[in-house]
Chains A and B, each alone.
Chain A
């Protein structure tokens, strides 16, 4: 049975923390710095073929025929694949499998996959793609989500229960929202919109498949979620999952963009089985832009009522979500768009009505702060406007509405630790808010915003009662402890986190821990790197597993020394007898004693969330064992001549519970903040009227260079969580949320304009300035 106990937030011994909270090196830092680390495209196998994908030039079309005969005849082509050979549909959410690895009936966006070729080299594969003849019947492309909402025909997905282009609709009300209109001191109602942005990880997607002579198949893939790829491969290939091994090598960034199973994984696997040779596919940067799964564009309408003192009495939201061409995580996105807004402020009454529609665009999915970054932008701008109208300081209005710790939100989410007030204090102090907000020269301004985010969710993607995170530990006679975890280290440092926790628990240095991760043959299942779940869930599982070994080691040493177990201290690789201070042994000797007593040493550890969430349909989606909290202050400069906004500095305070390694936490806060700032002023995953990407390159899609990034100052707030691993919560996604509205609110402070529609281009700034001038 999986252990589901909680471990408490304090150090395992009475000597305080020896590893946790310290600025330790990462377990893989030097391997990455020296070029030793192996990423998927670094894998080269003997006889390996190179595969390329043929993609649709049409945004919406029926595929009438695919003729690959000429391609197959080309010298050097070894295998060709079409949709009919992989007819089984998949999708990361089991209820909405609507993707095929290669088109079987229709293509639904420019870039949708149609056929694939494996050849002796990439050049030959590319040449062969030109020889494939596809006959399309072009259909009307629906690119505007408003149009998708009211246009059932042509249905982008046919054969569903719903005969329209609505992907998911959620309508939930808590309390009585409309009743608050009467008697409200202020009612504010506005439209907001969030544009399309993408992850742009530096490593393009890549997968390598190797057929094994014993009938097994190995797939290396740049995925954030090995376990779901494993399940999806088994389903689509109709192959026993026990015959498939999925390995995630070093991953060059994900941010949510590598969370879905992707067509290339199925295609290389099938081509490998078909040809009997290893097959690799590496997507070009342009293909990565079309693979997308980026942040959902949202059109949002918010109405908030409040009392004179700024107390919120109700929030009413109506959201239209552009899903793009497939479901992806859309069911969850639609819930998250409403469910995750109910803190850090108390909403006594709340309603949201969210509709996700299909359009003929690259599919949208989870990007850092899945589903909740967009509503957070809208609401924090609205709250700021309420503060302004009521003459209340923007930080003060946020304090007045603070929901508190150890409480429950209006939609039934349990809030445990909550350091939001300290986050506000930190940014108020760091930005010199009191002396500068509202007092800077025209063109310069300060803005603030707050937010919260989940540390994982108690809703596993497919319903089951097994642990959400599992680890296995093995102790070697050399003194090395190997930890096997299904967790995906995507650069966020989860393998290092596991090493720190096991080292802390066993009284070792982190260098005595070796972490093997994300290999389905070797590692217990973990649900992967998404929803900011890894530190909380894998961390708790690691402590659980290590604690069992700790007990055995202490017992063995106590028996050997003939002392009480409480007199045995494990610390920094040494075992000390507290009853007679002169006596000690190395951890290696202690391991030997334990192995003599208990036989071969090993353990398992597991974590599952407690039962959480409201008692209604969807009540568990967004219910998290702990929430992180964030407040940001941003300083901007607005050039009133050119309309250009420069984000000068962002102070980012984030409550991550106990910071297991402050350097890594700071890296997550700064990385989130810079990414959010870029979404406001630089990045736009824009499609033209045909559905063609306006600039699918890292030159045109402007992720910030070192010269564009704002100055960042991270402040770590540690509200020790009662259930987190040593009190830790998430840090990877929460800190992005506040950045965007803080910048919007700073623009208001700078020049008096309320920008409600992202991105904030110079044209929008100039238009708003002109309108303001006309009003005055």
Chain B
């Protein structure tokens, strides 16, 4: 066991966990942020994607011990950050995913939404090929991806209802 000092969604969190635990395990089973999902635990599916200093990262392949200096954003962090910036409702990307029907079982979507968030942060008007490329590390088994692309496009337009 060791104590990890992590910066998660703007909070500094101290938590004790086995030294070999991944960021995903610590987030889910120690901190209780279960929005990050475990689909494969070996870096194949992308369901565990979180942002480390804004960069999409697989939490299941990241040892918690290696990310103590990074700002970690999980799916739970988006809505409060949006509200802190004076926004209403959910984060625009989350909202667009809901409006476009991109959320079927929803299991891949926390990771997918964070990948989309990172894409739009650096490229506010992505082409469809750029969207496909950026989301290709996040497997979705429900949608066939079309409604996910539509959600990203809608979010890029910045329209909210």
Binary B-proximity of A648-680 (CB < 8 A = 1, otherwise 0): 000000000000000110110011011100000
The verdict on B62 contacting chain A, using a C-beta distance below 8 Å, is no
The verdict on B98 contacting chain A, using a C-beta distance below 8 Å, is yes
**Measured between alpha carbons, how far is A202 from B110 in the docked complex, in Å?**
12
Closest CB in chain B relative to A510 CB, distance in Å? 13
Closest CB in chain B relative to A666 CB, distance in Å? 7
Contact (A253, B142) CB under 8 Å given A34-B75, A285-B40: yes
Q: Collect the chain A residues with CB atoms within 8 Å of residue B135's CB.
A: 706
The verdict on A196 contacting chain B, using a C-beta distance below 8 Å, is no
| B147 to chain A: closest residue by CB | A667
**Measured between alpha carbons, how far is A357 from B83 in the docked complex, in Å?**
59
| A37 to chain B: closest residue by CB | B106
The verdict on A146 contacting chain B, using a C-beta distance below 8 Å, is no
Asked if A670 contacts B144 (CB within 8 A), the reply is: yes
| A664 to chain B: closest residue by CB | B101
The verdict on B61 contacting chain A, using a C-beta distance below 8 Å, is no
Which of A250, A491, A492, A712 makes the CB contact (< 8 A) with B144? A712
Q: Collect the chain B residues with CB atoms within 8 Å of residue A33's CB.
A: 75, 90, 94-95, 97-98, 103, 106, 109, 113
The verdict on B99 contacting chain A, using a C-beta distance below 8 Å, is yes
**Measured between alpha carbons, how far is A699 from B42 in the docked complex, in Å?**
9
**Measured between alpha carbons, how far is A486 from B75 in the docked complex, in Å?**
30
| B75 to chain A: closest residue by CB | A35
User: Interface on chain B toward A: helix, strand, loop, or mixed SS?
Assistant: loop
Give the bracket for the number of chain B residues in contact with chain A.
35 or more
Asked if A253 contacts B18 (CB within 8 A), the reply is: no
The verdict on A358 contacting chain B, using a C-beta distance below 8 Å, is no
Asked if A35 contacts B34 (CB within 8 A), the reply is: yes
**Measured between alpha carbons, how far is A42 from B76 in the docked complex, in Å?**
14
Asked if A698 contacts B147 (CB within 8 A), the reply is: no
| A707 to chain B: closest residue by CB | B136
**Measured between alpha carbons, how far is A285 from B37 in the docked complex, in Å?**
13
**Measured between alpha carbons, how far is A346 from B131 in the docked complex, in Å?**
45
Asked if A29 contacts B103 (CB within 8 A), the reply is: yes
Asked if B141 contacts A253 (CB within 8 A), the reply is: yes
Q: Collect the chain A residues with CB atoms within 8 Å of residue B44's CB.
A: 285, 697-699
Q: Which of B87-127 contact A (CB under 8 A)?
A: 90-91, 94-95, 97-101, 103-110, 113
Q: Collect the chain B residues with CB atoms within 8 Å of residue A490's CB.
A: 105
Q: Collect the chain B residues with CB atoms within 8 Å of residue A666's CB.
A: 101, 147
The verdict on A438 contacting chain B, using a C-beta distance below 8 Å, is no
Asked if A34 contacts B106 (CB within 8 A), the reply is: no
Binary A-proximity of B127-141 (CB < 8 A = 1, otherwise 0): 000011101111111
Asked if A26 contacts B103 (CB within 8 A), the reply is: yes
Asked if A663 contacts B35 (CB within 8 A), the reply is: no
Q: Collect the chain B residues with CB atoms within 8 Å of residue A29's CB.
A: 97-98, 101, 103, 106
The verdict on A252 contacting chain B, using a C-beta distance below 8 Å, is yes
Sample of 5 more A-B contacts, CB < 8 Å, known A41-B34, A674-B143: A29-B97, A250-B105, A491-B106, A703-B139, A705-B137
Residues on B facing A (Cβ under 8 Å): 18, 28-29, 32-42, 44-45, 47, 74-76, 78-79, 90-91, 94-95, 97-101, 103-110, 113, 131-133, 135-149
Closest 4 CB pairs of A and B: A35-B35, A491-B105, A32-B106, A252-B107
In the complex, 18 of the A-B residue pairs with CB atoms within 8 angstroms, ordered by the A residue number, are: A25-B99, A29-B98, A29-B106, A30-B98, A33-B109, A34-B75, A37-B106, A202-B37, A252-B107, A253-B142, A491-B142, A493-B104, A663-B101, A667-B104, A667-B147, A673-B144, A697-B44, A706-B145
Residues on A facing B (Cβ under 8 Å): 25-26, 28-30, 32-39, 41-42, 44, 123, 199-204, 250-255, 282, 284-285, 490-493, 663-664, 666-667, 670-671, 673-675, 697-699, 703, 705-707, 709, 712, 714
